[in-house]
């Protein structure tokens, strides 16, 4: 396609799709799209001048087929009426991953991949490059709390991209620097088994340019035999190319530590957000920034003012009497890491978790693992499965997880019952987990806690 006048996105409200929409809008192209339901993100896009509709209607697709690029998310079913229409009527139609790959090819690409941690690390890396003064463009899988967006734009031809393994999307990228954080079994509905998934990671690793750098979590089971880039390992605190040492816990779940790198050591580092997992995340981001050429002292400064990512250990309320955290974790290992970090941030307090399982296939494949890690909570409120792109699987419900949870205090409810369930309880530390639409409850929960706190204060005044 020589000239693009219109970009139409099917599934425009997704975190990755919305960043692409913003990119093309910034380029002066007319952008519009469809999404299933309105959200905070779609409202922001509409405020930015992007037309969005929430019911399938092919008449709202731009008529100029020759100069209209249609981008769709693989989360949309192939038989969806609008996707079927554009495929049958001469439009240029590509997946979101192909669009990102085309954009990345025009830049020096720094890609962050892995089944866990990639959103935080890519957002942190983009922040390091921005805070250091170099600047970068970035397509992020979450909303940066430093910049209040999932898209950064810069004249500097350096692109930070979150490289998603779902649907083999990351194989559209050929980065100069890549990070692989984890290869735990996931997306088995796509890959069939964990070996196929890890083979895809090996293929991604082989696509890093031969004069570039591949940074991998130490001892990952990924075949490196086809990798031509120079390879480095990183770890939390195990000596290797990049690792943390001199780790000193501090109040509120924060840490002071050193980052060891080839030829030196950055001492007295401190992340601007709590949690041991973020120490590890900072080591990976440090490695990518250092190999890209950012000075260690500038990296260290950027770590200290990093504000985090919405929905990643995102502390919404923090008072002596009640705390509320929202987290995107939707895989057993992610939930386990989040609970461990939350216990460090709020020691000796009762943790009530609300979990919305994401996908029937993931629930089926990991029910026992979910039950094991959710048993590390003090109380569990388990919601129905969020289906996303999937049709129901016979016999697969949240009860598969519920029956595996070894807690006395557990309840399984429908999402519409959640707020009433919370009003029955007195909770200490409350956490929402999940990648579905559980984020729609964040603002109502914050408001409920605020109202509850005000009522308690007024009651104390009356009695006291």
Task: Establish if 290 belongs to a structural domain.
Answer: yes
pTM: predicted TM-score of the whole model, two decimal places? 0.88
User: What percentage of the chain reaches a pLDDT higher than 70?
Assistant: 100
398, pLDDT greater than 70: yes
Among candidate residues 272, 304, 336, the one where a domain is terminated: 304
For residues 319 and 241, membership in a common domain is answered with no
For residues 275 and 342, membership in a common domain is answered with no
For residues 231 and 279, membership in a common domain is answered with yes
As a residue count, the chain comes to 464
CATH number at residue 21: 3.40.50.720
CA-to-CA dists, residue 430 to 102, 246, 339, 342, angstroms: 42, 32, 11, 10
Per-residue model confidence as pLDDT tens digits over 6-52: 999 999 999 999 999 999 999 999 999 999 989 889 999 999 999 99
CA-to-CA dists, residue 255 to 218, 248, 323, 449, angstroms: 21, 6, 20, 29
Task: Establish if 343 belongs to a structural domain.
Answer: yes
For residues 189 and 112, membership in a common domain is answered with yes
For residues 45 and 194, membership in a common domain is answered with no
CATH number at residue 418: 3.90.190.20
Report the C-alpha gap between 144 and 302 in whole angstroms.
14
Q: Which two tokens stand for residue 143?
A: 């909303």
Count structural domains, the chain: 3
- The residue segments making up the domain with residue 391 are 314-460
- Kindly state the DSSP code that residue 167 receives in the 8-state scheme: G
Closest CA to 14 of 103, 102, 76: 76
Per-residue model confidence as pLDDT tens digits over 258-299: 999 999 999 999 999 999 999 999 999 999 999 999 999 999
Task: Establish if 99 belongs to a structural domain.
Answer: no
For residues 65 and 111, membership in a common domain is answered with no
For residues 455 and 325, membership in a common domain is answered with yes
Among candidate residues 277, 304, 331, the one where a domain is terminated: 304
For residues 67 and 147, membership in a common domain is answered with no
DSSP character string of 128-149: HHHHTT---EEEEEEEETTTTE
Closest CA to 272 of 124, 138, 162: 124
CA-to-CA dists, residue 365 to 129, 250, 333, 407, 452, angstroms: 39, 38, 13, 21, 39
For residues 47 and 186, membership in a common domain is answered with no
Among candidate residues 37, 60, 94, the one where a domain is terminated: 94
User: What percentage of the chain reaches a pLDDT higher than 90?
Assistant: 89
For residues 371 and 443, membership in a common domain is answered with yes
Q: How far apart are the first and last CA of the chain?
A: 73
Task: Establish if 1 belongs to a structural domain.
Answer: no
């Amino acid at each position: 396609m020589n000239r693009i006048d219109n970009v139409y996105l099917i599934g425009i409200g997704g975190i990755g799709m919305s960043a692409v929409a913003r990119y093309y809008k910034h380029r002066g192209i007319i952008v519009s799209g469809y999404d299933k339901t309105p959200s905070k993100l779609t409202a922001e896009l509409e405020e930015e001048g992007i037309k969005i509709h929430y019911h399938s209607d092919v008449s709202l697709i731009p008529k100029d087929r020759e100069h209209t690029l249609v981008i769709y998310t693989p989360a949309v079913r192939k038989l969806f009426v609008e996707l079927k229409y554009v495929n049958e009527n001469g439009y240029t139609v590509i997946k979101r991953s192909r669009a990102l790959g085309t954009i990345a090819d025009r830049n020096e690409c720094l890609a962050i991949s892995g089944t866990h941690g990639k959103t935080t690390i890519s957002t942190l890396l983009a922040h390091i490059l921005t805070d250091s003064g170099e600047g970068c463009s970035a397509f992020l899988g979450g909303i940066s709390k430093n910049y209040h967006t999932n898209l950064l734009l810069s004249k500097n031809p350096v692109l930070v991209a979150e490289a998603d393994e779902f649907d083999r999307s990351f194989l559209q990228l050929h980065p100069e620097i890549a990070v692989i954080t984890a290869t735990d079994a996931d997306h088995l509905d796509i890959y069939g088994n964990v070996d196929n998934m890890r083979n895809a990671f090996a293929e991604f690793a082989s696509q890093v340019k031969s004069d570039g750098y591949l940074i991998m979590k130490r001892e990952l089971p990924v075949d490196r035999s086809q990798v031509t880039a120079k390879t480095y390992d990183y770890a939390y605190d195990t000596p290797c190319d990049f690792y943390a040492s001199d780790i000193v816990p501090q109040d509120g779940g924060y840490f002071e530590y050193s980052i060891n790198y080839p030829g030196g050591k950055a001492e007295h580092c401190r992340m601007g957000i709590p949690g041991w997992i973020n120490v590890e995340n900072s080591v990976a981001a440090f490695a990518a920034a250092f190999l890209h050429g950012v000075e260690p002292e500038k990296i260290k400064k950027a770590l200290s003012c990093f504000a985090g990512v919405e929905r990643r250990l995102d502390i919404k309320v923090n008072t002596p009497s009640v705390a509320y955290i929202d987290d995107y974790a939707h895989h057993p290992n992610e939930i386990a890491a989040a609970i461990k970090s939350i216990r460090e941030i709020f020691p000796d307090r009762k943790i009530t978790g609300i979990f919305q399982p994401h996908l029937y296939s993931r629930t089926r494949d990991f029910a026992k693992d979910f039950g094991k890690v959710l048993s590390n909570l003090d109380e569990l409120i388990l919601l129905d499965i969020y289906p996303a792109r999937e049709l129901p699987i016979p016999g697969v419900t949240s009860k598969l997880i519920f029956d595996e949870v070894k807690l006395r205090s557990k309840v399984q409810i429908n999402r519409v019952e959640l707020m009433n369930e919370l009003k029955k309880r007195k909770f200490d530390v409350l956490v929402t987990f999940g990648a579905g639409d559980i984020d729609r409850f964040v603002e109502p929960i914050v408001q409920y806690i605020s109202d509850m706190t005000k009522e308690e204060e007024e009651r104390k005044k009356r009695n006291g």
